[in-house]
Structure 1
Amino acid sequence: MAELNPYLNFADNCEEVFNFYKSVFGGEFLTLMRFGEMPAEYQPAEGESQKLMHVALPIGKHTVLMGSDTPGNMPTPVKGRNFSIAIQPETEEEAKRIFDGLSEGGNITMPLSKTFWSKSFGMFTDKFGIDWMVNLQ
């Protein structure tokens, strides 16, 4: 069965936000990756290498709070609307079924495809205006 986690997006203060959340929830980051650590073909724009590409903080037995800064070539996140639901399916078939089903009638931002961090990843806004990320490890 797939797992759901909140995914937060920030313009340029994701690290500050997640250090604050860490001070409240405790624990350690499962992942903290900067844009400058991406493979050469995905290098960020000048001045963005220290921004966070992905951070993950466990905040409960089955919940991980995740987030990232938004690159300058993408729209600036709007406070109060700067989140997605991240879903982690267990199989490629489940990833495709969920992606195709939930994105029907919506707007696909990034088609479901292989990335350097996962077997399959895609993003979309469903027909009700909810942002989703499907990430198969």
Structure 2
Amino acid sequence: MTTEVLAPVPGRAVALSEVPDPVFAQGMVGHGAAIDPPHTVVEALAPVSGTLLKLMPHAYIVLTPAKVGVLVHLGLDTVALNGEGFTTHAAQGDEVTAGQLIITYDVPAVVAKGLNPVVPVVIMDEREPGRITQRADGEITGGAELFVATK
């Protein structure tokens, strides 16, 4: 079974190991890829179709019909902002389509607080980095294929 994961935001696709946060870089949450977004306000999209299992201002998880959970985390340590810089456009429990707008992400507001705006995108609980094939390297548009996960 393969799961195609789309880029939730535009920017520069980077390996998850390059994220300056050990929880993400070492795959403790799961494996995937990351995007360094432009320093503008961007739309954060659903990376896959499914149920919006968890929705916080700075992060969300979409659960596919095949029960693959994909986490999108907007910036590092952004939970401390208590929603500042994020506008949600969906509700927890909603059925969403890949490419659908979930959150407007004010990258300059996050950068102004001294936080890293990088966006890790991971398959929850994926312990095998070899099951992730990164499709993008360098500039990517929101909604383009970021990586494929195989089970």
Q: Choose between structure 1 and 2: higher strand proportion.
A: 2
Larger radius of gyration: 1
Class of the TM-score when normalised by the shorter of the 2 chains:
0.3 to 0.5
Larger RCO (CA within 8 A; separation ≥ 6): 2
